[in-house]
Amino acid sequence: MQHIVEAAFWLALAKIVWVNILLSGDNAVVIALAARSLPEDQRKKAIIGGSAAAIALRIVLTIFAVQLLQYPYLKLVGALLLLWIGVQLLIPEDDGEDGIQSHAHLWSAIRTILVADLVMSLDNVIGVAAAADGGPPESRLLLLILGLGLSIPMIIFGSQLLLTVMEKYPVIITLGAALLGFVAGEMLVSDRALAPFFASLGPVVTTAVELAGAVAVVLVGRWLAGRQRAGGAAGDPA
């Protein structure tokens, strides 16, 4: 473990933590969105459990990141999945009337956090892997585990702060879902198989596709939420 005392080890560790903080803003948004409909006593469980599990998945993904991103259409699939998640987060959930349903909502929120973080981390892990590459070769896996693990409390704090802001300013929920749509658009135009085509169309078209992702999530999400509310009102006894 001689390499732990080397300056290169600590410099690489600091880089990993810093890069992960910079790249995890959108992850904090999705965690807050997924947990917002839970009862107060379950929000912290969803945030802590979802964040910790997501970081563990990110470590595994980082190890295989370079190989994964070489596959064409992988980002396209991820973009479509992220669009679906963004729409779902705008649809209000029915409040559970018993412990079983409430418990199911908790695991549903954690599952959403895991899937969204996995999809959104396809690009993020490249920066983390590059930061780890600057450390001693024999300590890179340790650097990934420590660096991403140290980021957990920061992501949790950011998610809880966003939850507080969302309660005061509900428009943040819509903006958060729009951000997921925008990220989906970014993934779509940067997919290995599609990037040359979008590059030939120019940056204006690329930006338009990214913005279209944000707009689509908000419009579809609000439309489905309106239908759900209308259905609920129609089903209420007069």
Please report the DSSP string for 6-60 in residue order. SHHHHHHHHHHHHHHHHH-HHHHHHHHHHHTTS-HHHHHHHHHHHHHHHHHHHHH
Cα-Cα-Cα-Cα dihedral sign, residues 182, 16, 119, 47: negative
Which residue's entry shows tokens 């997919």?
Answer: 191
Half-sphere exposure of 175 (CA within 13 A, CB side): 8
pLDDT tens per residue, the chain (238 residues)?
555 666 777 777 777 777 666 566 667 777 888 888 788 778 888 888 887 777 777 777 767 765 665 678 877 887 888 888 888 878 776 544 443 344 457 788 888 877 777 776 665 666 666 666 666 767 767 777 777 676 667 777 777 787 888 778 888 888 888 888 888 888 889 888 898 999 999 999 999 999 999 999 999 999 988 888 777 666 555 4
Q: What is the pLDDT of residue 6?
A: 67
Q: Structure pTM?
A: 0.66
Domain ranges across the chain: 2-235
The half-sphere exposure of 112 on its side-chain side, counting CA atoms within 13 A, is 28
CA–CA gap between residue 51 and residue 97 (Å, rounded): 27
Neighbours of 65 (CB within 10 A): 21
Looking at residue 98, its pLDDT comes to 40
